[in-house]
Structure 1
């Protein structure tokens, strides 16, 4: 065993991608083995840091508003080539509100628009937008309002796009493929996770349909049923409908930017993972994308997670080994405490990874 790649998604609510990878590598003797750590994100939590690391950029801060229109300072990234990297959850994320405050009838994406304008003032015209982790379901209306407010001399959003933002392009990093509204739309699938009651879901879905009709009249097209329109509570729709935007798998985009395929040369083992692995892992999530690329080079892939279910399905798809780092008897509320998670990772590393290196 000579070379290992660590490319592990964050353990959400517990440890970042970088922290998980550091916890593993710190228990390995780097003199015995070549270790490559690639911070990972599919467009959700940790997206900003992972993409800036891969692209060689820097973090900036902007004064914006959170989902409940409270002033906050939010980070975004700028690469050396002048591309802005925006993790929308930094301005409209679910974690910016307490459980009691969460209400997608009120939560706004206004702060996302403010981040875009701040990046434009910094000279950026190309944007990579991560759409995971939102606490909103406003179809991006708040974002559009913030942009409109920044150009008061222009008559409407279409004029702003044609005159002020005509050279801007947006790449949307997300693996969500839901439409804006309907049975599989943003409100019905995602709003309950953001605090919506059954009545709220119905009203939000109707609002989305109405907003799409109004937007179709403004822009002369309708993207409400395109894959990804329902991402981030319909924020994906606003980007598709109003701007020059394209969707990319967040995982594939980051792997390309990281030069992952070229790094596979001479690699003996790839270790990937996420907080909870199950059959949904195989639906285009980051570990699955890593698996497919590694399979083309006949490199074995191990999958680790805080918890694992449906392991037989995962094994049948090609993961060589699958591990849950959490002891079965340990309750989840204890397992997600970072210090305990680090101890669990150390125990797993010593029991399963060190023996194959020595």
Structure 2
């Protein structure tokens, strides 16, 4: 479910018990799926659709958003490099961000002077090299041959030639929204933390991590930038690092960008409750995803925050100290996600119904 659908389901259940309640629905995303819609809801604008390359270089129809009278483009890399696009065919060592570069190129050539990239929900682990290649940066192997790297071939890069970078990007402000602060490599890096959910087994994770380390070394040598320990460099399979190294982007927490844009603090002031959620609340969520981003603000405002989530991981107790008042999972039965996802809407509705029944007797 996207953010707008979740808001709608929640609001419907609230009105069953509190028909006169004032409900403000704010679709929020942190850089992953729904980021474009969140900005369009807040600012107005339109979607631009075009054919680009998908995770396995297949043609697919993707999109980006135009806001601020067409001067700013909002791109969510999940639109063409997202995990849902690969289904069960998960191979982090083979997927590419090439299509993301095509979206960036189209926006720049259309006259955008600011491009915001949402880094989240990716199926990739290529350090952003695919996107860079689509924008004219050349990656050369030991024999001087140019190729488009993927996660499994980053170790073959010996030289990076950035002289052919898309000229329309000159002077364009680049902002990368990332929902985590993980470094590029190591036990908290892109491969170790996120590789398994993208289909990487233990051996593949080690190889991907070593390959990203090689990329970082070549970037240091040829581009004179050190991105290894940069917070957020590990976002989206190292796309955070690539955005900084190849495009001079700045990294900032995605949820903060959206909440500022929609004037969340102003809207939420005086509310009785704020209800938020995400697919899974776990230890990674504590590093800055949607629920915690919202919780930090509701805590300052003195408003209870109720988190309604798809699943709850271990070791999430610190969330309560960070401003979350209560956490509820919508899981109603013990079934595999492949089955549960088909009943997500009804399970969310039932959970909200149960929550409202309780709040109504207080």
TM range (shorter): 0.7 to 0.9
- State the superposition RMSD in angstroms: 2.6
Aligned to 1:262: 266
Using the TM superposition, give the Cα deviation of residue 198 of structure 1 relative to its aligned residue in structure 2, in angstroms.
2.8
Secondary structure, in 3 states, of the residue corresponding to 2:46? strand
Cross-structure match for 1:62 = 50
Shift of residue 231, structure 1, vs aligned partner: 1.2
For 1:169-248, what aligned pairs fall within 5 Å after superposition?
Answer: 169-248=173-252
For 1:175 and 1:194, the matched residues in 2 are separated by 17
Task: Tell me which residue corresponds to 1:92.
Answer: 81
Deviations 1:189-246 (A, max 9, x none): 2222211233322322222222222222332222232111111111111111122211
**Secondary structure at the counterpart of residue 148 of structure 1:** coil
Tell me, yes or no, if structure 1 residue 128 matches structure 2 residue 132: no
Cα distance in 1 for residues equivalent to 2:86 and 2:80: 11
- Is 1:26–2:12 an aligned residue pair? yes
The yes-or-no answer on 1:51 pairing with 2:39 is yes
Match of 1:302 among 277, 302, 306: 306
Alpha-carbon offset, residue 139 of structure 1: 1.2
Q: Size of the alignment, in residue pairs?
A: 335
The 3-state SS of whatever aligns with 1:170 is strand
Q: 1:311 to 1:129 in 2, by over 3 A?
A: closer
Q: Does the 8 Å contact 1:311/1:322 carry over to 2?
A: no
| Bigger mean CA deviation after superposition, 194-203 or 90-99 | 194-203
Which residue number corresponds to residue 157 of structure 2?
none
Are residue 319 (structure 1) and residue 324 (structure 2) matched? yes
Structure 2 CA distance for partners of 1:206 and 1:323, relative to 1, 3 Å? closer
1:348 lines up with 2:354 in the alignment: yes
Q: Would the aligned equivalents of 2:181 and 2:233 in 1 still touch at CA under 8 Å?
A: yes
**Cα gap change, 1:242/1:307 in structure 2, threshold over 3 Å: closer, same or farther?**
closer
Aligned to 2:145: none
Q: Deviations over 1:90-127 (max 9, x none)?
A: 1111211132x322222111101100011112211211
CA positional deviation for 1:78:
0.8
Structure 2 CA distance, aligned partners of 1:176 and 1:278? 12
List structure 1 runs of 4+ shifted beyond 6 angstroms: none
Of stretches 134-143 and 176-185 in structure 1, the one that deviates more from structure 2 is 176-185
Range that drifts further, 209-218 or 108-117: 209-218
Distance 1:140 1:77, change over 3 A: same
The 8 Å contact of residues 23 and 345 in structure 1, kept in 2 or not, is answered as: no
Structure 1 unaligned runs (5+)?
A: 1-14, 151-155
Residue number in structure 2 paired with 1:17: 3
Taking a change above 3 Å as real, the CA distance of residues 163 and 306 of structure 1, as seen in their structure-2 partners, is closer
Structure with the greater relative contact order (CA < 8 A, sep ≥ 6): 1 or 2? Answer: 1
Q: Report the CA distance between 1:85 and its aligned residue.
A: 0.6
Q: State the 1:51 CA deviation.
A: 2.2
